[in-house]
């Protein structure tokens, strides 16, 4: 039997990149997966890849009514949630001196507010044995030129997990952070650029960018009972970038 057989997972930002990589792996391990994202076309393409063990709900993590629709759909069909991968987020390059209020608000709304309410609204559908995974970043651990607002938002996500591990004490629900390094995703290449991402990958001890499937494999570990004695922690899938 696969590690996630019979489990129900929700993946935000699941239409592309790391979210899609995790959704694929969850399904390969036996889970039924709901993906959530803003772009209907990307969701439709993702479901076509994922097959009958998936559903898509369109919406934004910053819209609480959209989150309510997502969880109502899960409750109606599956009853509850075993795995929540709060993965949706965004960022924009802007050095100090060029940061705008709009950039700050967009980044913190998606990465911090979105994470908070994605998790909080899921809790009534979760029970003992549940696993919450938050997407962090190497940027939350190290200085990154022109990326301070994104980096600060990911540092906030890291601390949410620490505090929530204490808030969830006694529930049997675990929460951990999965922090990717330079990973070949559509969003990363759009925001940072192909050349800069390639240089980041080359700077890792492994000398390359990661693939979303590699991050998905670690997400499946955190989702499963194999990580049953882990909560409040952070796991890096970064080719060693932030480790040496």
* Number of residues written out for the chain: 244
| 118 neighbors 88 (Cβ within 8 angstroms) | yes
- Which residues 6+ apart lie within 8 Å of 28 measured at CB? 2, 220
Which pair of tokens denotes residue 85?
């991968």
Instruction: Give yes or no: 71 in active site.
Output: no
CB-count burial class (<10 Å; 0-12, 13-18, 19+) for 1: exposed
- Exposed (0-12), middle (13-18) or buried (19+): which is 69, by Cβ within 10 Å? middle
Residues 6+ apart with CB under 8 A from 108: 149, 153, 156
CA distance 220 to 215: 9
Instruction: Give catalytic status of residue 150 as yes or no.
Output: yes
Catalytic residue among 7, 24, 71, 154: 154
Could you list the active site residues? 150, 154
């Amino acid at each position: 039997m696969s590690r996630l057989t019979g489990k129900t997972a929700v993946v935000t930002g699941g239409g592309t990149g790391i979210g899609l990589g995790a959704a694929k792996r969850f399904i390969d391990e036996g889970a039924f997966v709901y993906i959530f994202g803003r772009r209907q076309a990307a969701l439709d393409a993702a479901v076509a890849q994922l097959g009958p063990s998936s559903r898509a709900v369109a919406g934004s993590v910053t819209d609480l009514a959209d989150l309510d629709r997502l969880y109502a759909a899960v409750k109606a069909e599956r009853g509850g949630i075993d795995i929540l991968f709060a993965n949706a987020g965004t960022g924009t390059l802007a050095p100090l001196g060029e940061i705008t209020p709009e950039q700050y608000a967009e980044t913190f709304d998606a990465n911090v507010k979105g994470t908070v309410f994605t998790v909080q609204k899921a809790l009534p559908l979760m029970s003992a044995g549940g696993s919450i995974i938050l997407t962090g970043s190497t940027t939350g651990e190290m200085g990154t030129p022109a990326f301070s607002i994104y980096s600060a938002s990911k540092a906030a996500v890291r601390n949410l997990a620490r505090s929530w591990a204490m808030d969830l004490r006694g529930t049997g629900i675990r929460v951990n952070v999965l922090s990717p390094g330079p990973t070949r995703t559509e969003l990363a290449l759009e925001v940072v650029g192909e050349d800069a991402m390639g240089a980041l990958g080359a700077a890792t001890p492994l000398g390359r960018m990661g693939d979303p499937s590699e991050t998905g494999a670690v997400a499946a570990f955190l989702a499963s009972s194999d990580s049953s004695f882990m909560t409040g922690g952070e796991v890096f899938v970064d080719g060693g970038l932030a480790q040496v």
